[in-house]
Chains A and B, each alone.
Chain A
Amino acid sequence: MNSPQRLLVRSLLAAGALAALSGCATNVNTVERAQPQATPDFVADKRVVTDNTLARTVRVNAINQATVSGNLLKVQATLENLKNNPRNIRYKFEWIDQSGMAVNSPTETWKTLMLQGRETTMISTVAINPRAVDFVLKLSEYKE
Chain B
Amino acid sequence: MTTSSSLKTALVAAVLAPVALVFTGCSSNQVRNVDSKGPQALNTSGINSQDWANAADQLVGSLLSSGALDKVPNPPAILAVDRIINNTQAQVDTDLLIKKIRVALSQTGKVAITNTMGLGERAVVASEAAELDELTTGKKAKLSTPAYTLYAKLIQQSDRINSVTQNTYSFQMSLISVKSGLTVWEDEREIAKQSKKAVMGW
Instruction: Decide: B39 and A128 in contact? CB cutoff 8 A.
Output: no
Q: Report how far A72 CA is from B66 CA in the complex, Å.
A: 12
Q: Which of A106, A140, A142 contacts B104 (CB 8 A)?
A: A106
Asked whether B94 is an interface residue with its Cβ less than 8 Å from the other chain, the reply is no
A141, closest chain B residue (CB): B39
Q: Among residues 22 to 45 in chain A, which have CB atoms less than 8 Å away from a CB atom of chain B? A: none
Give how many A-B residue pairs fall within 8 Å (CB-CB): 70
Q: Which of B38, B39, B70, B100 contacts A107 (CB 8 A)?
A: B100
Residues of A within 8 A of B109 (CB): 130
Q: Which of A74, A90, A106, A125 contacts B100 (CB 8 A)?
A: A106
A106-B56, A106-B100, A109-B37 given as contacts; is B50 within 8 A of A69 (CB)?
A: no
Indicate the size class of the contact surface on chain A: 20 to 34
A90, closest chain B residue (CB): B39
Indicate the size class of the contact surface on chain B: 20 to 34
Instruction: Decide: A107 and B64 in contact? CB cutoff 8 A.
Output: no
Asked whether A121 is an interface residue with its Cβ less than 8 Å from the other chain, the reply is no
Interface residues of B (CB under 8 A from A): 37-39, 49-50, 53-54, 56-57, 60-61, 64-65, 67, 69-70, 99-101, 103-105, 107-110
Interface residues of A (CB under 8 A from B): 68-70, 72, 74, 90, 105-111, 124-126, 128-130, 140, 142
